[in-house]
C-alpha cells in the first residue's frame, strides 16, 4: 500500500496523532500544506460531504486535487 504522507527527509510513512503528522524515525512533527499549481500560494482546504477541495484566494478559484502541490514542513 502506497501513501502520500511520507517524510521529506527519510521517506518513511508519517503517523497522524494529536492533529499533526510525525515521523518516528526523524523525531519531528510536520504540517501538511497545499500550494496552488498556478501561483504557488498556500491553498485553503475545503472539506464537505466526505470529499476535499482546494481554493486559491489569490487566483479566486477552486483547484483540482490532482494538480495541487503538497509539502510537509517541520513545526517550530
Please write the tens of the pLDDT for every residue from 16-56. 988 889 999 999 999 999 999 999 999 999 988 878 899 99
Closest CA to 24 of 16, 15, 36, 33: 15
The per-residue pLDDT for 75 is 87
Residue 63 has pLDDT above 70, yes or no: yes
Which pLDDT band, with edges at 50, 70 and 90, does 1 fall under?
Answer: very low
- Cα–Cα distance for residue pair 7/46, rounded to 1 Å: 24
Amino acid at each position: 500500500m502506497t501513501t502520500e504522507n511520507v517524510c521529506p527527509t527519510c521517506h518513511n510513512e508519517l503517523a497522524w496523532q494529536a492533529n499533526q503528522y510525525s515521523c518516528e524515525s526523524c523525531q519531528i512533527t510536520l504540517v501538511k500544506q497545499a500550494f496552488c499549481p498556478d501561483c504557488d500560494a498556500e491553498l485553503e482546504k475545503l472539506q464537505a460531504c466526505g470529499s476535499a477541495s482546494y481554493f486559491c484566494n489569490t487566483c479566486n478559484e477552486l483547484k483540482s486535487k490532482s494538480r495541487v502541490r503538497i509539502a510537509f514542513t517541520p513545526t517550530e
